[in-house]
Amino acid sequence: MGPPSNKKHLTDTTMRVAWCFFSLTLAIWFCDGNLCHGKDFTTDQIDFFERRVRPLLAKQCYECHGPSLQESGLRIDSRTSLLTGGDRGPALIPGHADKSLLIQAISFGANDLAMPPDGKLSAKEIEDLRHWIEAGAAWPSEEVQTDGVPRPNRETRHWAFQPIEKPKLPRVKDLQWVQNEIDLFVLSRLEEQGITPSPAANHDTLSRRIHLDLIGLPASRIATEKESIAELTDRLLANPRYGERWGRHWLDVARYGDTRGYVDGGQVQFAFAYTYRDYVIQAFNDDLPFRDFILDQLAADQQTYADTDRWRLAAMGFLTVGRRFNHNYHDTLDDQIDVISRGLQGVTVSCARCHDHKYDPIPTADYYSLYGILASSYEPQHPDLPTLTADGKSQESAEHLTELRKRATAYDTKYRDLHREIQHEMRGFATDYLVYLVQESPRHRMGDQNPLKTARTVLRGPTAYGFGSIQRWRRYLDKTDTADSIFGIWHAMDVIDQDNFSTELSRQLHRKDINQIIAKQLIEDHPGSMVELAKSYGSALEAFYQRNRQAAEANSAPPTNSEQAEMWAAIFGGDRPITITRLESIDCYHLDEHTAMRNLAGKVEELSINNSQAQPRAMLLRQRAQPHQPTVFLRGQANRIGPEVPRQIPAIFWGSDGNQLDRRTLGDDRLALADRIADRLNPLTARVFVNRVWHWHFGQPLVRTMSDFGVRSVPPTHPKLLDYLAAWFMENGGSLKKLHRLILSSRTYQQASLLRRKPNEIDPENRYLWRYNARRLEWEAIRDSLLFVSGQLDDRTGGRGIIADPDDPTTTCRTIYLQVDRQHIPSFARNFDFPSPDFTSPQRPETTVPQQQLFFLNSPFVTQQAEQLGQQITGLPPNETARFRELYRRVFAMSPPEDDQQIKRWLQQANRANQGTSIQDKWTWIAQAMLQSNLFVFVE
């Protein structure tokens, strides 16, 4: 607990100790199933802790087990950390001092562990700690001061966790400027700062802005004053191109990709990721209520749809189209937790994978509660994915379906055989595992390394993917103690010195509570060491397994004889770590088995990838028959198992009331999670989404930290406007199109983008929205606009992503339909800040680099579009001024300059630059100059 006197002492202490593990179930029971919330304590208890316990812990323990250093994974500067414990399990069991590792360590009674290493605490200090634990281990929460007066902590006070209440409309001086409620909130802030808003943009500018905003394409004709902004907005919202534009925004949040990223073996490409993209586009075009949009993406498999709505099954790509982290299952689930929490709730739950969140009220236990909800689902085999046809039946050829099923059967057979093989090894080779665990322990280690290879097998050790068979056997032993009828003698003998081993074993064999099958084997072998004891145990377990293997595999009833029933439960019991499911067996694969399984799975998927007639299927999840019981992974490592936690919705998803609810009674599956996130009482969902929408319209969100609304977030520039929009959005059925109409009809949105000196001096970042933010278009909108104005954009919609170079002039589809390969993002897409599809992206950066201009100068794609425009203009009557005006209208969809002299100067410059070339080359040059201008590349 204090600093070690020398490094060798610390190393010896750490490496040569055998700690006694406690029942984690007992620890959780004492914590009422929740590692994060202690009971209420009296003022006297808190006072005792503050005067006698905290100073002692700080002085003796924090240096090695505090914020900056956690020896053996143990941190003890919070009650939660003590209850969670470190590598050796919980350090504290409230009400049971003698069973707490903390007391055993400071009493120098936990084998050869002695803490602090510099010397034993005084008897008074030990008694203080013992008294504190026996009384319940009082620890002041942030909700209670030491005087016992309740107070709200910073987490529950935080603005984002408060219920959404529609604020009253503010009073303003200049009511004539106001066009709707948004303007009232914006103008009130401007008036507070002494800033006047900007005048309205002209009709051409507004028309171009709204076209690029809603459909991502320029107007096909010059706007007329006859069409009002409201009529223009309605017309564009009804355009199918709207869903493509706004669907791409959401795909950034959903970290959409058509490939898995880097993987060793197997298929890199997803066969049906495109069905999620098409779902998002259709959902936006149909103005699907946002609540339904959430429920679809998290739990479409648990809902019933009419035949005409089967397309909504594809929504679960939100969870399944993410990166696969070289098939690391735990990282894949972490990615799903991240996209749910940051994408939908604006909180960084993944920070709690290794430790309690440093700032927000997100304990590690809540992370693994959410992990358990998601791990209670599985991805069905490829042929079992539902088709999206109206009747749900496949219309693929019989040959295709036969081959598909054949390949799937080959995978399933190998999957089943490996599960049986691994299960057999764990039981049939028990001796090898038990001997390994003895020799690996610090007390009994005989050399520097205990080899995994034995005469019969290669033991399946822990890997990055999970426990491995060795860890499952270790966990089995850790969950038993000296009172266990099978392994009671094991634990009793494990702490006995070699000189006293035989004597103590003879005494232990007289115990009445020991299984007689085990006792008989030990009497017969009379082992003289723990290694020999492990061999005797292994012999008894293996012999019983071989005698009863066929009966167990046939699901026969257990024996009625008590001795045999105990052995049956020890080997075949469903609650024993050595009894594993098929999914759990993946944790135990050798590397070559992982590769073989990935290749077989890839063979199934590639059949549909390579068959253009393969019908679209939904990449959904299914609930497991037996839900997953989550456990904490110590320091986030899957091969270091901590205490169990319940499946329940994280408290932060309930806002400021989260800690007062019994979340375990409110559902523990994905549908319950989705329902909670979509609930109108959720304080985060609507706020987070309307903030994203505001950003996509203005290029600047109301809350700058768009995917982090936690305690460390940047406060909203217009908090009342944010809450008003969130409440309005929910009142209007979660209709995104209605929200568009509200925003676009506001004077705030319709302002000009020109800079003005005085407002710019007061508010250079335009935080108070005194003008519209001019900004560069995204890569997709630039490429699509180039195709559109040249007349080359094709009308393809939906379907499998096209594998093509987006810089290829012959690739004329809209950019959203190009395949997104996580490993090979096109260079000029990266140059224009296309986000990484490896994780959810709240917003795109806006960089200015030379490569952007070089793209317009040298790209064959840009050159091709300019040549198309040049050819079209050359075909018009030979009036250069008229030709220039027509080219201007086609490129910008705006009225050309009225000044003929300005046009002549353009034409003179073009003539000088293109001397000796054809007329078409000159107009191609002019077209390319227009296409790289700010007026084309920026929305103003």
Q: What is the pLDDT of residues 554-606, one digit of tens each?
A: 999 999 999 999 999 999 998 888 998 888 888 899 989 988 999 999 999 99
- pLDDT for the residue numbered 194: 95
**Tens of pLDDT along 699-756?**
999 999 999 999 989 999 999 999 999 999 999 999 999 999 999 999 999 999 999 9
Residue 644 to residue 369: CA distance in whole angstroms: 9
**Tens of pLDDT along 468-479?**
898 889 889 988
- The pLDDT confidence band at residue 802, using thresholds 50, 70 and 90, is very high
Q: Which pair of tokens denotes residue 724?
A: 């008003």
Whether 143 has a pLDDT exceeding 60, the answer reads no
Instruction: Judge whether 390 and 505 are in contact, CB under 8 Å.
Output: no
Instruction: Pick the range with the lowest mean pLDDT from 116-130, 371-385, 867-881.
Output: 116-130
User: What is the pLDDT averaged over residues 160-169?
Assistant: 95
- The pLDDT confidence band at residue 37, using thresholds 50, 70 and 90, is very low
Q: Which pair of tokens denotes residue 763?
A: 């508010």
- The pLDDT confidence band at residue 73, using thresholds 50, 70 and 90, is confident
User: What is the pLDDT averaged over residues 185-211?
Assistant: 96
Whether 426 has a pLDDT exceeding 90, the answer reads yes
- pLDDT for the residue numbered 391: 80
Q: At what angle do helices 181-193 and 719-731 cross, to 10 degrees?
A: 180
**Other CB atoms within 10 A of residue 714 CB:** 13
- pLDDT for the residue numbered 668: 81
Instruction: Pick the range with the lowest mean pLDDT from 536-540, 668-672, 813-817.
Output: 668-672
As a whole number, the mean pLDDT across the chain is 87
- Give the list of residues 6+ apart from residue 865 with CB closer than 8 angstroms, or none: 786, 787, 789, 790, 792, 809, 927, 931
- The pLDDT confidence band at residue 216, using thresholds 50, 70 and 90, is very high
- pLDDT for the residue numbered 492: 93
Owner of token pair 């925004």: 249
**Tens of pLDDT along 882-935?**
999 999 999 998 888 888 888 888 888 888 888 878 999 999 999 999 999 999
Whether 758 has a pLDDT exceeding 80, the answer reads yes
Instruction: Judge whether 727 and 386 are in contact, CB under 8 Å.
Output: no
User: What is the pLDDT averaged over residues 663-688?
Assistant: 89
- pLDDT for the residue numbered 151: 32
The listed range with the strongest mean pLDDT (354-363, 448-457, 766-775) is 766-775
Q: Compute the C-alpha angle 71/75/76, nearest 5°.
A: 125
Residue 309 to residue 168: CA distance in whole angstroms: 39
Q: Compute the C-alpha angle 872/877/882, nearest 5°.
A: 85
Alpha carbon distances (Å) from 353 to 28, 116, 149, 244, 634:
19, 29, 33, 35, 9
- The pLDDT confidence band at residue 865, using thresholds 50, 70 and 90, is very high
- The pLDDT confidence band at residue 31, using thresholds 50, 70 and 90, is very low
- pLDDT for the residue numbered 792: 95
HEC string of 859-924? CHHHHHHHHHHHHHHHCCCCCHHHHHHHHHHHHHCCCCCCCHHHHHHHHHHHHHHCCCCCHHHHHH
Give just the sign of the alpha carbon dihedral 248, 250, 251, 253. positive
User: What is the pLDDT averaged over residues 183-211?
Assistant: 96
- Model's pTM, two decimal places? 0.81
**Residue 500 DSSP class:** G
Say how many residues make up the chain: 940
Residue 369 to residue 351: CA distance in whole angstroms: 14
- pLDDT for the residue numbered 248: 97
Comparison of pLDDT for 541 and 17, the residue scoring more? 541
The listed range with the strongest mean pLDDT (31-40, 445-454, 519-528) is 519-528
Whether 289 has a pLDDT exceeding 90, the answer reads yes
**pLDDT > 70 in the chain, percent:** 91
Contacts by residues 496-502 (CB-CB < 8 Å, ≥ 24 positions apart): 498/529, 501/528, 501/529, 501/530, 502/526, 502/528
Query: For strand 775-776 and strand 938-939, is the pairing parallel, antiparallel, or unpaired?
Result: antiparallel
Whether 616 has a pLDDT exceeding 80, the answer reads yes
**Tens of pLDDT along 41-51?**
877 788 788 77
**pLDDT > 90 in the chain, percent:** 63
Whether 152 has a pLDDT exceeding 60, the answer reads no
- The pLDDT confidence band at residue 145, using thresholds 50, 70 and 90, is very low
Residues 876/882/885/891 CA torsion (nearest 10 deg): 10
Residue 723 to residue 713: CA distance in whole angstroms: 16
Amino acid letter, 872: Q
Instruction: Pick the range with the lowest mean pLDDT from 102-111, 408-417, 489-498.
Output: 102-111
- pLDDT for the residue numbered 447: 59
